[in-house]
Structure 1
Amino acid sequence: MAGRRLLVATAVVAAAAAVVAAAALEAINVTTVAFEEGYTPLFGFDNILRSADDRTVSLLLDRSTGSGFMSSSMYQHGFFSASIKLPSDYTAGVVVAFYTSNGDVIEKRHDELDFEFLGNIRGKPWRVQTNVYGNGSVSRGREERYLLPFDPTTEFHRYSILWTRAAIVFFVDDVPIREVRRTPAMTGDFPSKPMSIYATVWDASTWATSGGRYRVNYRYGPFVASFTDLALLGCRVGDPIGQMLSSAACTAAEDALLASDLAVMTLEKQQAMRRFREQNMVYSYCYDTLRYPAPFLECDVVESERRRFKGSGHLRLAFRRRRRTRPGSRPARPTRAADM
């Protein structure tokens, strides 16, 4: 019992330290756009609601359809961001996604960078999954999954993707949570072709919650995901095939992005990223030896970290996230990662 209390106390202290460290990072300031300036409806048009100032968009999932929107242009690298508030209550089977892709125009060789938010049964937290696909490498998913250190349904939180020719970085509230550096080991799996930016909400009952055990229950719908603070920073291109033939037009813009504070991974950013991952990552493809017996060459496997994960890639022990509690209240008990 004493050991369990020590584990809980250690987790609470570490989480508090992570919050302080995140607060010390300089906020990312980029220009945001109105919906009409950078985006267009994709599907479920009647389920897309826009605010009077056109800067907040709500996507609905109901019995009839989900909904989504996409950028009006494709981009050769850039910084893409949105503040998102997720549906609350029973959300099993619901997936909200904010991602980049060229799958609509390049079959079998598409690239993709994902934030996928996976709903859950009442009382269980939303989980967020990041993924990287390059050149159609869908059989080699590079998933990582995290629990968020806040309730993503009560207020907006910012999720951002930085994509350059050198690296990909995922951010949550301006804290980097994952960096994928371009290495020779990735060969063509590193995304390199122009992509559009998408936001969607849809029914993923077949897999999203406990492998399809819990499905969408439309008695709790409609499920509403809201997006605001939309940011599109990058080199716009019209035709991805044409851009691959002549990419010089974007070189100057990307050089400026690489030299900016956005792309510089400072020591403070590295430390904040390590703390986030230690406290919140519950699955990593790098430790999933059941699915991938031959490890990915780009994985920087840390032995002390590897021991925290099972052969399935899931964390051996996780801590149940609690919503804001009264000062002095008893901290959460440990729970198995499988319960998440």
Structure 2
Amino acid sequence: MGYGAAQSSSFPLILFFITGGIAIAAASLSFEDNFDLTCAAEHFKTSPDGQIVSLYLYKNSGCGFQTKKRHLFGWFSMKMKLAGGDSAGVVTAFYMCSDKDAAKDRDEVDIEFLGNRSGQPYLIQTNIYKGGVGNREQRHSLWFDPTADFHTYSFLWNPHNLVFFVDRVPIRVHRNGPGGEGFFPSKKPMYLFSSIWNADDWATRGGLEKTNWTLAPFVSSYKDFTLDVSSAKDAWWNQPVAWSLSSGQALDSAWVHRNLLVYDYCADVERFPTLPPECSLRS
């Protein structure tokens, strides 16, 4: 999608470092200084205090935003509250991509929230593309209702690994290969995006559940975007402490894998009779 005219907002972007469990806040920046809208302005609203932005999905159109700049490696995070109730067919995405228009050779890292019929699990799907090749999906259920309140979703991306976090719990670790030449997005800087859109051809029970447009608009809300993309060689996200999980994070990750993993491409031998080589890199 192309640029749209951004509506004025004081949505804060709080940059911070996380080292040894300590968060150090830096300057707050405005939404319009860092993002462009990719939809009509009437599909985008801010709270009266300017702290929350919301995207609206109607039958005729969804909505999204993207950073003005691309970044290579760092920490990217956003607090989000998803559309509640019967949201079958609705997808809310928080992702990074090297191209604004989904080029064939793009690199991309996805978090997608797959809407549900009321009372059924809300799934989070993660996926990775390198050079336009994807098909690296994992799906997890969540240990909370993501429509009831804001929760934090994050990427940690450095030359060694890519970690997906939910409320600082690592739900997926994707490692780079020996010599940095594995199935790993490490060559192309990426924009950061979020969007809400209709995907009822596949998103809920493989497309069996269609979007109930009588319930529109569907709304996703955002606050507290955090970003650390320092180019300094000693940036915390590119130090050995960030190249692998801590012992506590490893325990959390193992619990998620045992209890919440719904689908893993590395276990799908019917789809991949010969598993992709990066599957052997998992610890």
TM bin, normalised by shorter chain, reads 0.7 to 0.9
Deviation by residue 1:74-117 (Cα, 9 ceiling, x = unmatched): 10111110011011111000000000002326732111111100
* Equivalences for residues 75-154 of structure 1 within 5 A: 75-104=71-100, 107-138=103-134, 141-154=135-148
What secondary structure, in the 3-state scheme, does the structure 2 residue paired with 1:104 have?
Answer: coil
> Aligned runs of 1:211-226 on 2, under 5 Å?
211-226=206-221
Match 2:263 to one of 275, 283, 298: 283
Rounded to whole Å, the distance in 1 between the matches of 2:116 and 2:185 is 30
For 1:103, what is the secondary structure of its paired residue?
A: coil
Q: What amino acid is aligned across from residue 43 of structure 1 in structure 2?
A: C
TM-fit CA distance, 1:51: 2.7
Structure 2 Cα separation of the partners of residues 222 and 99 of structure 1: 22
**Structure 2 partner of 1:299:** 279
CA contact (8 A) 1:34 1:230 kept: no
* Separation (CA, whole Å) in 2 of partners of 1:185 and 1:293: 26
Q: CA 1:116–1:266 in structure 2 vs 1: closer, same or farther (change >3 Å)?
A: same
Q: Which residue matches 1:267?
A: 247
TM-superposed CA distance for 1:53, in Å, is: 4.2
Counterpart of 1:123, as a letter, is: G
Percent identity, aligned pairs only, is: 36
Name whichever structure is richer in helix by fraction: 1
Q: Is 1:161 aligned with 2:155?
A: yes
Match of 2:16? none
CA positional deviation for 1:258: 1.4
Q: Which residue of 1 aligns with 2:170?
A: 176
Partner of 2:44: 48
Q: Distance in 2 between matches of 1:101 and 1:115?
A: 12
Query: Relative to structure 2, which stretch is displaced further, 105-114 or 91-100?
Result: 105-114
Q: Pairwise CA RMSD of aligned residues?
A: 2.4
2:238 match: secondary structure: helix
Alpha-carbon distance in 1 for matches of 2:203, 2:102: 26
**TM-score scaled by structure 1?**
0.71
Instruction: Say if 1:30 and 1:203 are closer, same or farther in 2 by CA, change over 3 A.
Output: farther
CA offset digits 1:286-334 (Å, max 9, x no partner): 01111111101121499xxxxxxxxxxxxxxxxxxxxxxxxxxxxxxxx
Mapped contact 1:97–1:199 kept (Cα < 8 A): yes
Measure the CA separation in 1 of the matches of 2:278 and 2:125. 19
Map 1:64-79 to 2 at 5 A: 64-79=60-75
Residues 185 and 282 (structure 1), Cα distance of their counterparts in 2 relative to 1, 3 Å cut: farther
- The one of 193, 201, 204 equivalent to 1:206 is 201
Relative to the length of structure 2, the TM-score reads 0.85
Deviation digits for residues 251-303 of structure 1, max 9, x if unmatched? x357543128655521111111111221111100001111111101121499x
For residue 299 of structure 1, give the secondary structure of its aligned residue in structure 2.
helix
Aligned partner of 1:58 among 54, 57, 79: 54
Q: Secondary structure at the match of 1:298?
A: helix
The runs of 5 or more residues in structure 2 that have no matched partner are 1-19
In 1, Cα distance between equivalents of 2:54 and 2:101:
26
Tell me the distance in 1 between the aligned counterparts of 2:234 and 2:207: 41
Opposite residue 221 of structure 1, the aligned amino acid is A
CA distance in 1, matches of 2:206, 2:49: 40
Per the TM alignment, residue 145 of structure 1 is displaced from its structure 2 partner at its CA by: 0.3
SS of the equivalent of 1:43 reads coil
One-letter code of the match for 1:147?
S
Q: Deviations over 1:219-266 (max 9, x none)?
A: 11110000111012115xxxxxxxxxxxxxx4x357543128655521
Deviations 1:19-58 (A, max 9, x none): xxxxxx9476665643223222122331111234433210
Rg larger for: 1
Distance 1:206 1:106, change over 3 A: closer
